Structure 1
Amino acid sequence: MKRLVVLLGDYYHPKEWSKSSLHRVLTLLNEKESMECAYIETDQLLEELKKNPDGVILFKENRLNPVDDSVDTWMTEEIGKAISNYVEQGGGWLAWHSGLASYPQESSYTRMLRGHFEYHPNHHSPVKYSSVKESDLFGPVSFEINDEHYFVKVNKKDTNIFLTSESGDGYSTAGWYHNHGKGRVCCLTPAHNKEELLDENFTSLLAKTIGWVGE
């Protein structure tokens, strides 16, 4: 039985939406190998990392109250270093959509990801996601969904780009993966809306990335 630790939900991303997507994904994964998820809150993460789970999934931005005048964040440098150490020692980490957002660029966490969210347009639009032929670890991918188009900055020399995104607003990287010490890191930018989080093409891709992270 593989055990995954999961942190979901923030001000802009209802936990119920991503949890429904993950439930569908686990149905796919459990056809091959039994996996269970422990849904936790941020103040439980340090203790959970000490238990060496097979993988961690983060769909949660760093800001706790993004619309307030004084904004609080949850990821301290202590937590970021603990995450990096956990992966270096053989853990797996999936930074999914908002799991890339508002974390300090020079933090241990963002350095481990080797990329970060920069911005997205205020509107949702059709976004086409396509796999990169030179990096087909997760198989051929080509689908279009109405999404919040994430534009990211990635250290392309030190990772493997496997997915790109394109819309009327431009072109960006949408997925990348690499080893970090003995462990594995995967970053995936889609999806935002409830309907798109349940899109079969997307959930199939998400299942493959989670399966790789949890190996």
Structure 2
Amino acid sequence: MKRILVIVGDYYHDAELARQSFQKVAEPYVKAGKLQLIYAGVEQCEQELLKAPDLVVLFAGYYIDPRAEPVSYWMTEQIAERIEKYVAGGGAWLAWHSGLASYPYDGAYVRMLRGHFLMHPEQHSQVTYTPLSGTELGALGEAFSFMDEHYFVDCKEDETNVFMRSSSVDGEAVAGWYHSYGAGRVGCMTPAHLSDGLLMPQFVEAMRSLVAWCAKLEP
């Protein structure tokens, strides 16, 4: 049985909603006895890495409390380097939505991801997510749409594999990518923020395909 460490929730992102979403993503594997989920907070990340999970899923931003003066952050450069070492040594990491947000552009974590969040428009909009064919993730179905924060990212497309793109009235962006990193694997997914997207079956299926690739799960 493989173990996934799931770190969800921050000041702007509802932990319980993200947990409900990921439960749906993992459900077939959990029911089949192939997967165990371990939930933790960002403050437990470094300790949990020592237990060598098969995959870490991060749905939390860099900040702890953005209202604080000064703003406090949880991922020190030491923790970022330990994450990078864990993945390079054969672990796997999935940066999901806010797991891409606000981390230092020049740090070990963002270098490992090969992409990061830049901005999203202040207002939510109808965002269309279009899966791409011909990737290692297999058939991801047709395009799907829902109200969302439209994440715009800086992604090193020539150093990774893009499997999904997004579009809205505000423009177009890369929405999902994956690559090998040393002996490990890295996946990134920009949606979703609201329940409409997080619980939508098409999103859940696409996320499940990325999780399966990252954790090397058989169908």
State TM-score, norm by structure 1: 0.95
For 2:81, what is the secondary structure of its paired residue? helix
CA distance in 2, matches of 1:40, 1:178: 25
1:68, distance to aligned residue in structure 2 (A): 3.7
* Superposition pairs of residues 43-192 of structure 1, within 5 angstroms: 43-135=43-135, 137-141=137-141, 142-192=143-193
Amino acid in the other structure paired with 2:21: S
Amino acid in the other structure paired with 1:87: V
Paired position in structure 2 for 1:37: 37
Return closer, same or farther for 1:23/1:140 CA change in 2, 3 Å cut-off. closer
Give a deviation string over 1:46-97, Cα, whole Å, max 9, x none. 2211211110000000011123442111000010000000000111100000
1:127, distance to aligned residue in structure 2 (A): 0.5
Greater mean alpha carbon deviation, residues 31-40 or residues 73-82: 31-40
Return closer, same or farther for 1:181/1:42 CA change in 2, 3 Å cut-off. same
1:169, distance to aligned residue in structure 2 (A): 0.3
Amino acid in the other structure paired with 2:45: L
* CA-atom RMSD in angstroms: 1.3
Give a deviation string over 1:111-158, Cα, whole Å, max 9, x none. 000000000001111111112234362423411111110000011111
For 1:20, what is the secondary structure of its paired residue? helix
For 2:45, what is the secondary structure of its paired residue? helix
1:33, distance to aligned residue in structure 2 (A): 5.4
Greater mean alpha carbon deviation, residues 180-189 or residues 192-201: 192-201
1:26, distance to aligned residue in structure 2 (A): 1.7
1:30, distance to aligned residue in structure 2 (A): 3.2
CA contact (8 A) 1:166 1:172 kept: yes
Count of residue pairs brought into register by the alignment: 215
Return closer, same or farther for 1:136/1:4 CA change in 2, 3 Å cut-off. closer
For 2:49, what is the secondary structure of its paired residue? helix
1:25, distance to aligned residue in structure 2 (A): 1.3
CA contact (8 A) 1:138 1:209 kept: no
User: Tell me, which stretches of 5 or more residues in structure 2 are unaligned?
Assistant: none
Greater mean alpha carbon deviation, residues 14-23 or residues 138-147: 138-147
Return closer, same or farther for 1:9/1:138 CA change in 2, 3 Å cut-off. farther
Greater mean alpha carbon deviation, residues 37-46 or residues 176-185: 37-46
For 1:196, what is the secondary structure of its paired residue? helix
Greater mean alpha carbon deviation, residues 171-180 or residues 45-54: 45-54
For 2:123, what is the secondary structure of its paired residue? coil
